Structure formats: C-alpha cells, structure tokens
Chains A and B, each alone.
Chain A
Amino acid sequence: MKTNKNRKEIRETDFSRFTDEELADAFVFPSEKASTVEKKAENDFWTARRAQFENRTPRQKMYSRLLQLKFQLEDYVDSNQYKNTLSFGYFLNEYVSRQDKKDKQFADEVDVTPTVLSQYINNHRKPKDEFVIRLELHSNGMIPAIFWFKVIQKDKEHEIMTNKELRQEESKHVKNRLEFAY
C-alpha cells in the first residue's frame, strides 16, 4: 500500500461558508481542465485577440506606446533602482519618437530650440522646471511633471553619490575636517 507520508496536505477554506460576492472579492479560482469543445473556444478567443491587436489604427498604436512609456517611467521613478541608461534624456527621446515626430517639430511644439532639445536628450543640459511643466501640458497630463522631475532627481542623486572628480576638486576648499570615526 502506498503511503501518503510525504504528501503535503494544503487544507483549504470551506468555500460554502461564503457568499459568491465574498468569494469574488477574495479569489480568482484556478480553472478546470478544458474539454475539447472548450479548447476550440479558447483557440478562437486567442485568434480574435491577436487580430484585434494587430488591426489597431496608427493612432491606437501611438496611444498604446505612450501609455507604455508612462507606466514604465512611473515604475522607474518610484523604484529604488538606478540605471544609467534610463536617464531623463532617454525618456524624453522615447516621448518624442513614440509620437513619430522629428526633434525639430517637437522642439517647436514646446518652444525650445532644436539645439536645446538635443542637449536635453543627450543629457548635456539640465532641464528647468518650466520645461518639465511644458512636457506635462504637452501630454495633456498623461505624463505628469512630477515623473519628469523625479527622473531628473534620480540622475542628480546618482551623480552626487558617484562624482569623484568633484570631490577631488572641492577638497581644496575644505579645512579642519572632523576626525570622528563613524
């Protein structure tokens, strides 16, 4: 006779104690194995989904790309991680290119020169508050200024923590340093 000694029993809740509403509020239950008829319906469902996605209009595709960027940016600025590739310039460049716009056209839309926009995109110039407000207004609020501000802040935090040259440079301006151990 087989022994059940090693089998882990997961004792489940008595679901009959709860109303359907309470169950829907707490669970999505595992689905049962599909029958042949259900398998066919499932395949039809996924075929329809693929067709729906692939037949989107250019406008729907652009909207989707921009929402993707919004949520990627939001998650990044809310996380504790830093990636030097995910700079303000990177996200700004994505914002422009996902609208299928040339830099020159976008620069005109937010009233900066193409040179200044290029400097922002290449992280050679720090954007002013006015510019991040313009970005929020340009996206009609889809990407709030605070997201842009936070990514600039993240770049700044990294720079201040890792800038050895600046420490060396500023060293000559500091005397009578504390000698406490910490």
Chain B
Amino acid sequence: MHIVNNDTGEKQSATITKIDATEISKINRTKRFDFNWNKEKPFSVYKLTVDGSDEPIGLLSLHERPEDYALEIRLIASSKENIGAAQKYSRIAGCLIAFACKEAFKAGFDGYVCLKPKTKLKAHYIKKYGLESTKMYLVTYEENSLRLIKEYYED
C-alpha cells in the first residue's frame, strides 16, 4: 500500500493498524483530526501511518456488522494538513477504503463495504471509488472491492 508525497511526487509505503481507546484519546487530544474520535471507541478504529513515522495521517472507524455480512465505514478523516489543494500526501482516504474492502473479504463478506454519504459528496465517491448507489448507502463489493484493493495495495 502506498500514498504519494505531493512535494516530491514519490510513492511512500503506508501501513494501517488498529488502535485502542487509549490511543484514540491521545490522537483526539492532538486536534490534528476533525470530529470527535472518542465517540468511535465502541467501533474498530484504525490509523494510517507513513512507514518510518508513528504519526497518523488518516483515521478510519469501521462498524463490523456480521449479522448483515458487511462492514460499514462510519468515519474517515485525513489529518488537517492533508485536506485540499495544499495536502502533503494524496490517496489517504482511498487507502483506508481499500483496507476496509480487504477486511471485508477476510471476514467472508465478499468485500462488502458501505457508507452513508453526505448527499452533495455522493457523486464524487461514485466517480472516484466506483461505489454503487442505493437509496441510503453507497456500497462496494466483489469485483469493485477487488479493483480498489489492487489500485491501492499494488505498486
């Protein structure tokens, strides 16, 4: 998995790891991320770091729904220095979505991942990640999830 350093144009390896409640509190206190991540403690929270650095640049909260054979993305945030045109690294959210797809295959859910989008952003998620639109959710599964994994995990 890699992100791209926009200053140099170079690919840099990135890693996603699960974090516990203590680390969530710690990261929340830094105020480097939008939203109150303490509210995500009942769910599975992951951080994305550039290899060689412990500082997270992306966070993901996943709701595991085994009874529905799905993973629901509750929240994703890039760190504040990685939003908009001045962002240092690109591909952060894409890596986190691809990670969710991989976890959904590992759980035996056929890569089924969904998220409830803000209405005005829906078209952008569909275009960028090939998500499928339903009334309430955007979803990815099977071939599209495999495609996302290939795109974000392979060099």
1/0 per residue A6-46: CB within 8 Å of B? Answer: 00101111000111111111111111000000100110111
Instruction: Contact check, B136 vs A41: say whether CB atoms are below 8 A apart.
Output: yes
**What is the number of residues of chain B that contact chain A, defined by CB distance less than 8 Å?**
49
B112 within 8 A of A: yes
Instruction: Contact check, A12 vs B35: say whether CB atoms are below 8 A apart.
Output: yes
Instruction: Contact check, A25 vs B106: say whether CB atoms are below 8 A apart.
Output: no
* CA gap between A50 and B107 in the complex, in Å: 15
Q: Which of B36, B70, B84, B146 contacts A18 (CB 8 A)?
A: B84
- Name the B residues within 8 Å of A24 (CB-CB): 93, 121, 124-125, 128
B54 within 8 A of A: no
Instruction: Contact check, B34 vs A27: say whether CB atoms are below 8 A apart.
Output: yes
- Name the B residues within 8 Å of A56 (CB-CB): 110
Query: Given A20-B121, A41-B135, A45-B135, A25 and B35 touching (CB < 8 A)?
Result: no
* CA gap between A29 and B120 in the complex, in Å: 11
Which of A11, A30, A45, A70 has most B Cβ within 10 Å? A30
- Name the A residues within 8 Å of B2 (CB-CB): none
* CA gap between A50 and B66 in the complex, in Å: 10
Residues from 69 to 99 in B contacting A, C-beta threshold 8 Å: 69-70, 73-78, 80, 82-85, 87, 90, 92-93
Closest to B92 in A: A26
B117 within 8 A of A: yes
B137 within 8 A of A: yes
Residues from 110 to 139 in B contacting A, C-beta threshold 8 Å: 110-112, 115-118, 120-121, 124-125, 128, 134-137
Main secondary structure of the interface of B (DSSP, over half): mixed
Instruction: Contact check, A17 vs B115: say whether CB atoms are below 8 A apart.
Output: no
- Name the A residues within 8 Å of B111 (CB-CB): 67
Contact-residue size bin, chain A (C-beta under 8 Å from the other chain): 35 or more
Instruction: Contact check, A22 vs B83: say whether CB atoms are below 8 A apart.
Output: yes
1/0 per residue B11-35: CB within 8 Å of A? Answer: 0000000000000000011010011
Query: Given A12-B35, A21-B124, A41-B136, A27 and B106 touching (CB < 8 A)?
Result: no
Query: Given A20-B121, A24-B124, A45 and B108 touching (CB < 8 A)?
Result: no
Instruction: Contact check, A45 vs B137: say whether CB atoms are below 8 A apart.
Output: yes
Instruction: Contact check, B93 vs A25: say whether CB atoms are below 8 A apart.
Output: yes
Instruction: Contact check, B105 vs A67: say whether CB atoms are below 8 A apart.
Output: yes
Closest to A11 in B: B31
- The 8 nearest A-B residue pairs measured at CB: A24-B124, A28-B76, A31-B116, A26-B78, A53-B69, A24-B121, A26-B83, A22-B84
Given contacts A10-B31, A68-B105, 5 further A-B contacts (CB under 8 A): A18-B83, A24-B93, A26-B84, A27-B93, A75-B106
**14 A-B residue pairs with CB within 8 Å:** A8-B28, A10-B35, A12-B35, A22-B85, A24-B124, A24-B128, A26-B87, A49-B69, A56-B110, A60-B110, A67-B105, A67-B110, A68-B106, A71-B102
